[in-house]
Structure 1
Amino acid sequence: MRMKLSFLLLLTLLTISSQMLAQEKVIMDTDIGDDIDDAYAVALALASPELKILGITSAWGNTELRSQMLDRLLCLAGRSDVPVLSGVKTTTENVFSQQVWARAGEGRVHGDAVDFLLDAIRKNPGEITLLAIAPLTNIGAAMDRDPVTFKKLKRIVMMGGSIRRGYGDTGLTPAHGPDAEYNIAMDVAAARKLFQSGVPIYLMPLDSTQLALDETKREMLTTVSTPLTDALLVLTAEWQRASHQVTPVLYDVMAVAFAIKPELCPVTAMHISVSEEGKTKEGPGTPNTNVCLASDAETFFQFLMPRLLKQDLHGNSSCVR
């Protein structure tokens, strides 16, 4: 009996060790707080043991308030061990729809996002996946500061661009063609540098990321109460009030999902360039990007919803000042 228990213990330890070894090292770069999809993207990453989150960097606009929001979200999930770094501040006319919730969180000192990213790459050359779900200002700054180190990223998985379908082109009505997608258009110079960088890019554009979290799925989230799921519901309500919209579109979540399960968004090798107005254009030339042109919404939500509903992330429910 004792030998059997020892064997089971050893098997359990080996299983845990193999899972830890198999974890993908990731850094997330997010403009959480404006649209609601970033919050769901961070939640999916936290609920996915396949990912080892080395840090989360805030991007675009009021990056310090975004960092404060991330602090609170991580505290609720019991993951205050994950470093949060503030990126380059910019001017933006976007509405920080979730700022009331963000400002109620405990503030702390945050380091420099660009320095953190480059230092992490130096310590883990060829091992880090950068999950880029924001305008590319931090990434452009990292390329400018140390292009040699930046190229030692394993890959970039990003939500951005519009190849054949634009905003609202979901297949239910005639497509009007590609648009200048927000994450690309807000910093065209950085986007151009990235697509010319030689770093492997996996692009989730509007073509494959217009995934609506409908009322039925939002109702499902009310059936489970954890600090993290409760936060998602409150943040969704704040976004709805501020944006005068009802149904979230989970653009950024597909980038995180792809990093975990790439078959959710099959990619095609393409040559992508960025126009002056921020449009991502396919054209002739050596492929520089792996692009997901289509995804299946039902399969995506069958992957996402159980992770949000069954996750067991319990931190301090009073992560406020």
Structure 2
Amino acid sequence: MKRVIVDCDPGNGIPGANVDDGLALALVLGSPGLSLELITTVAGNTPSQQGFNVAKSLVERLGLSIPVLKGADRALEEPAEPWRKALDSRVYETKLAHLWQGVRQPTVFPAPEEEAADAIGRLICANPGEITLVAIGPLTNVALAMERYPEMVEAVQEIAIMGGVFALDDYIKDTNFGLDPEAAHKVLTSGASITLVPMDVTTRTLMTHSDLDRIAKLDTPLARFVSETLRPWMDYSIQTRKLPGCWVHDALVIAWLLNQQVATAADYYVDVELRPGMTRGKSWRYRRPLRVDVGIGEPDGGLVHVLQTVDNRLLIAMLENALAN
């Protein structure tokens, strides 16, 4: 049994918000091999309070007692306003908010007083070598936890991260690292044991309406949650991204923890650009020896395990199996 914390920015039921965090949570909850001990939310795909409402609503809907805590509302340094404008208004600019008509909205809950970063740091440090931290939003909470609990770097069993983009047409940066580059830099170069799932591999995932139809027939609480909330996002993705379905970025992180046959991986040094300009927030990776190493000093932190390819058929089968539970 692998003990996990999931730090996320879910948007299930929110017009225009990606639903892969909620799908990842459903995969955790439906997998007997994983014990979900804490859910925390961070500003990213959705504002932190909105993500908290989504996660808390799911836990309440399932009758579970898993603690859910709201985390950081803003990045360490990156201005929030341009990102919020882009992420929160695009669905209205494209006049596609009607796709969410009739979809159940998350309940609004008061946020607990305990801070997510403190809860993450305390739980990991109290259980050295036993907790896997799944970070599938911007890394603000994780960076704050490391700052407050430096021993967490050695105590965490693994940090499994969805974020970064290295060589993908139409992207210079991704949302998770772009929204808080300083946090991404701090975590990636911390020396902790890290697995990174970048967009280069998650954009090779695909869920279609046919897949969702099979999930809907399972008629379990988890399957109903997924089929209800993924349907409008899938239609939105088909219209705005010209895909035959939608990518399921964050679900691949959980699938890798369950079965490493679902992907291939290789080790790299990874970091994020922090300087102002159009490449701020862009991730990069390298392995030694480099053919040209002028100006390349010693790397910060250690090697990061980076996923490279995915078996999408196995991924979808794993999702269906978990949602049947």
TM value normalised by structure 2:
0.78
Aligned-pair distance for 1:304? 1.9
Relative to 1, partners in 2 of residues 1:140 and 1:153: Cα closer, same or farther, differing over 3 Å?
Answer: same
Select the residue among 211, 218, 228 that pairs with 1:224: 218
Q: Which amino acid aligns with 1:37?
A: D
TM value normalised by structure 1:
0.79
**Partners of 1:109 and 1:122 in 2: how far apart?**
24
Partner of 1:77: 62
Select the residue among 153, 156, 164 that pairs with 1:153: 156
Relative to 1, partners in 2 of residues 1:102 and 1:84: Cα closer, same or farther, differing over 3 Å?
Answer: farther
Partner of 1:118: 121
Q: Which amino acid aligns with 1:160?
A: G
Aligned-pair distance for 1:274? 1.4
Q: Which amino acid aligns with 2:25?
A: V
Relative to 1, partners in 2 of residues 1:248 and 1:242: Cα closer, same or farther, differing over 3 Å?
Answer: closer
**Partners of 2:251 and 2:60 in 1: how far apart?**
21
**97-106 or 189-198, which deviates more:** 97-106
Q: Does 1:31 align with 2:9?
A: yes
| Contact 1:27-1:53 within 8 A present in 2 as well | yes
**Partners of 1:115 and 1:102 in 2: how far apart?**
31
Greater C-alpha Rg: 1
Q: Does 1:212 align with 2:206?
A: yes
Tell me, which stretches of 5 or more residues in structure 1 are unaligned?
Answer: 1-22, 167-175, 312-321
The number of residues matched between the two structures is 277
Select the residue among 70, 74, 99 that pairs with 1:86: 70
Relative to 1, partners in 2 of residues 1:216 and 1:101: Cα closer, same or farther, differing over 3 Å?
Answer: closer
**Partners of 1:36 and 1:138 in 2: how far apart?**
20
Partner of 1:278: 281
Relative to 1, partners in 2 of residues 1:292 and 1:282: Cα closer, same or farther, differing over 3 Å?
Answer: same
Relative to 1, partners in 2 of residues 1:103 and 1:302: Cα closer, same or farther, differing over 3 Å?
Answer: closer
1:197 partner SS: coil
| Contact 1:69-1:102 within 8 A present in 2 as well | no
Aligned-pair distance for 1:100? 8.9
Partner of 1:195: 188
1:294 partner SS: strand
1:151 partner SS: helix
Over the aligned positions, Cα root-mean-square deviation in angstroms equals 2.5
| Contact 1:195-1:288 within 8 A present in 2 as well | no
Cα deviation digits, residues 31-84 of structure 1 (max 9, x gap): 0012111111110000001111110001115212211211111122232x1100
2:73 partner SS: coil
Tell me, which stretches of 5 or more residues in structure 2 are unaligned?
Answer: 12-16, 75-79, 92-99, 275-279, 289-298
2:264 partner SS: coil
| Contact 2:7-2:133 within 8 A present in 1 as well | yes
Partner of 2:29: 46
Q: Which amino acid aligns with 2:63?
A: G
Select the residue among 154, 178, 182 that pairs with 2:175: 182
